[in-house]
Amino acid sequence: MLELGALTPNNYASCSTWIDNHPIDLHSQHPDIVEQDFFDRPLPESEAEAFDIISCSLVLNFVSTPQDRGRMLRLLHEHLKPRGESLLFLVLPLPCLANSRYISIDSCVELMTVVGFELVKEQWKGGGKVGYWLWRWKRPDDQGSDRWKRKIVEQDGPKRNNFAIVL
- For the residues 27-51, what does the mean pLDDT come to? 95
Work out the pLDDT band at 125, boundaries 50, 70, 90.
Answer: very high
What three-state secondary structure class fits 98?
helix
Is residue 95 situated within a structural domain? yes
Domain range enclosing 54: 37-148
Work out the pLDDT band at 50, boundaries 50, 70, 90.
Answer: very high
Distance CA 160, CA 40 (A): 32
Query: Residue 43: its pLDDT value, please?
Result: 97
Is residue 74 situated within a structural domain? yes
Query: Residue 151: its pLDDT value, please?
Result: 96
Work out the pLDDT band at 144, boundaries 50, 70, 90.
Answer: confident
Work out the pLDDT band at 96, boundaries 50, 70, 90.
Answer: very high
Q: Which helix (H) or strand (E) holds 73?
A: helix 66-79
Is residue 48 situated within a structural domain? yes
Is pLDDT at 59 greater than 90 in this prediction? yes
pTM: 0.94
CB 115, CB 103: distance < 8 Å: no
Is residue 63 situated within a structural domain? yes
Query: Residue 8: its pLDDT value, please?
Result: 84
Is residue 121 situated within a structural domain? yes
Distance CA 20, CA 49 (A): 12
Find how far residue 23's CA is from the centre of its chain.
15
Our count of domains for the chain comes to 1
Query: Residue 77: its pLDDT value, please?
Result: 98
Q: Is 58 left (phi over 0), alpha (psi -120 to 50) or beta?
A: left
Is residue 54 situated within a structural domain? yes
Is residue 103 situated within a structural domain? yes
Is residue 160 situated within a structural domain? no
Assign residue 90 the CATH number of its domain.
Answer: 3.40.50.150
Burial class (CB in 10 A: 0-12, 13-18, 19+), 124: middle
Of 18, 11, 88, which Cα lies nearest the Cα of 50?
Answer: 88
